[in-house]
Amino acid sequence: MEIKVGIQHVAREVHIESDMSATDVEQALAAARSDHGVLTLTDEKGRKVLIPADAIGYLELGAEHARRVGFGAF
pLDDT of 66 over the 70 cut:
no
CB contact at 8 A, 53 and 32: yes
- 3-class SS at 47? coil
Confidence of residue 27 (pLDDT cuts 50, 70, 90): very high
Segments of 1-74 assigned E as strands: 2-7, 14-17, 38-42, 48-52, 56-61
pLDDT in tens, 28-64: 999 999 988 999 999 999 999 999 999 999 999 987 6
Q: pTM for the full model? A: 0.78
